[in-house]
Amino acid sequence: MRTIDLDSLEIFRTVVAEGGVIRAAGKLNRVQSNITTRIQQLEERLGHKLFLRQGRSLALAPAGHKLLPYADRLLRLADEAESELRSDLPLGTFKLGSLESTAGSRLAPVLSRFHKLYPGVVVELVTGTTGALLKRVNAFEVEAAFVSEPFSAPGFETISVFEEELVLVTARSVASVTRPGDLAGATLIAFAQGCSYRRLLEQWLGKGGVTPVRSLEFSSYQAMIACVAAGTGFAIVPVSVLKALRATADVHQHALPERIRTSRTHLVWRGTPSMALARLIGMLQKSL
């Protein structure tokens, strides 16, 4: 028996977004007692407290954190159902995840074309590592994400969309790197754990018996490349990123072994695609 109605989910989500009952009541044009009663009824149906009171404010309880992405998804699907019945074109917000490298070097023409074809869709782009993005897709925080090999995503749907050439970069003063031992004692510059490219590089180093003495983590390729160019350490980057940032002359590029020289970027998602995602998938498949 169904215990959740969309109206209750909208009230719940608005309380979360507004940070409390008073603002939510104003936002929804309802009296405060009605908001409080509906939240209490929802908690009773689910058998869990959704909020914890902290002074005059409310904070999400563990069950509330678990419910929120489902509320977002169900309300989005309801909006999409209405839109689809009224129009043959997708409308509304489309939450999409992407690697920093893919967003910076590959997605501009893709999203530009998508916007021209479907101007009623607002794309919200979130960047992160492959590991972080897979978690977001799994929690329905984003509808789909562009991630790179290697990754494991049982139960996900996936299509391969781009192929990246990876290179090792160092300061220009480093003449040659042909084996892991050439990097002994050097600093690894990379994204946080969960980055697929970092994993490939660490596996190669490990097979050569090399463990970086120090790791510096950054959240953008611009910062990583600037740090490498200054002589701080080494990194692995897609050639497409170096070209997009016009940084090919700032660093020395070293070829990686063939087995890790190329990596494919995939679009991954869970369940039945929304209309916006289905159109994006179709657009990408036509360009392959």
Domains of the chain in start order, with CATH, are 6-68 (1.10.10.10), 82-162+264-287 (3.40.190.10), 164-263 (3.40.190.10)
Q: Which residues of 5-33 are buried (b: 16+ CB within 10 A; e: fewer)?
A: eeebbbbbbbbbebebbeebbeebeeeee
**Type of residue at 51:** F
pLDDT tens-digit profile of 30-70? 888 888 898 888 888 888 898 888 766 788 889 989 898 88
111: tokens are: 């999203």
Given a contact cutoff of 8 angstroms between Cβ atoms, the answer to whether 99 and 166 are in contact is: no
How high is the pLDDT of residue 87? 63
Position 15 pLDDT exceeds 60: yes
183: tokens are: 């990097």
Residue with tokens 């660490």: 202
Given a contact cutoff of 8 angstroms between Cβ atoms, the answer to whether 161 and 288 are in contact is: yes
Q: If you write DSSP's letter for every residue of 240-268 in order, what string do you get?
A: HHHHHTT-TTTSEEEEPPHHHHEEEEEEE
Q: What is the dihedral of CA 268, 271, 274, 278, to 10 degrees?
A: 50
How high is the pLDDT of residue 160? 94
- Average per-residue pLDDT in the chain? 89
How many CB atoms within 10 Å of residue 65? 13
First to last CA, the chain: 45
pLDDT tens-digit profile of 117-161? 999 899 999 999 999 999 999 988 899 999 998 888 888 999 999
Region of 16 (left: φ > 0; alpha: ψ -120 to 50; beta: rest) is alpha
Position 84 pLDDT exceeds 70: no
How far is residue 12's CA from residue 67's CA, in Å, rounded to a whole number? 9
How far is residue 24's CA from residue 139's CA, in Å, rounded to a whole number? 25
Given a contact cutoff of 8 angstroms between Cβ atoms, the answer to whether 242 and 251 are in contact is: yes
pLDDT tens-digit profile of 190-222? 988 889 999 999 999 999 999 888 999 998 899
How high is the pLDDT of residue 127? 93
How high is the pLDDT of residue 194? 86
DSSP-assigned beta bridge partners for residue 264: 163
How high is the pLDDT of residue 105? 87
* Whether pTM exceeds 0.75: no
Position 85 pLDDT exceeds 80: no
Given a contact cutoff of 8 angstroms between Cβ atoms, the answer to whether 103 and 111 are in contact is: no
* Residue 104: C-alpha distances to residues 147, 216, 279 (Å): 14, 21, 22
